[in-house]
Amino acid sequence: MQRQNLPEENALNTSASPVSPASATGKNFTVEAGKDRFNEPILFAGVNPNLVKISAKDTGGQFSVFEYEGFAKIGPSLHMHPHQDEVFYVVEGEFLFQVGEERQTLKANDTIFLPRNIPHTWLQLSDKGKMLYLLQPAGTLEEFFKEMNAFKRPPTFAEEQQLSRKHGAETIGPPITK
């Protein structure tokens, strides 16, 4: 008797297929605490380190991971990513997140998922804070942060909107306040 492959068997076989070689560097690496992947730290708003931990270059654009360390009670403008999902994990401190019209406070060890196409922002509430966050797919957020940092001053709303569009995001409004 000839055995036929069942659809479940085929699904199992294909789901375990290896990642495309184009999606990885082929080398493992370690990024030490407080360090940036390429030793090029970016300051958010000229104050807070925003470090690339895993670059889009490392993953073939599949995802990127950043570490944000906040020393000021600030946050980004209200914005959205039409083609990217984000995940934030609070390592230290307290942050107010707005996702759509909903607001919630996150503390150390809390995680939040921000789906694409939903306006969102956050505000650091504590004197010191730290988060890890992931974007999938990576897009060009690393370049966006570098270009924002190059202003050496707070960009105008129009400048931020233009730069956001260039990098596949939409700046919609000002940062939130408590």
pTM, two decimals, is: 0.83
- Does residue 25 sit within a domain? no
- Does residue 22 sit within a domain? no
Cis before 137? omega within 30: yes
Tell me, what's the pLDDT at 93? 99
| Number of domains the chain is built from | 1
List residues bridging with 67 in a β-sheet. 51, 132
- Does residue 11 sit within a domain? no
CA dihedral 155, 114, 56, 33 (to 10 degrees): 80
The CA distance from 128 to 178, in Å, is 16
CATH number at residue 145: 2.60.120.10
- Does residue 5 sit within a domain? no
| Residue-number span of the structural domain to which 123 is assigned | 40-173
Q: What is the mean pLDDT of each run of 10 residues along the chain (178 residues)?
A: 50 42 72 92 83 95 96 95 98 98 98 98 98 96 89 88 95 94
- Does residue 30 sit within a domain? no
Tokens 């990024």, located at residue: 31
100 Cβ contact list (under 8 Å, min separation 6): 118, 119, 120
- Does residue 9 sit within a domain? no
Residue 163: CB atoms within 10 A of its CB come to 18
What 8-state DSSP symbol labels residue 35?
A: -
The CA distance from 159 to 162, in Å, is 5
Tell me, what's the pLDDT at 48? 87
- Does residue 166 sit within a domain? yes
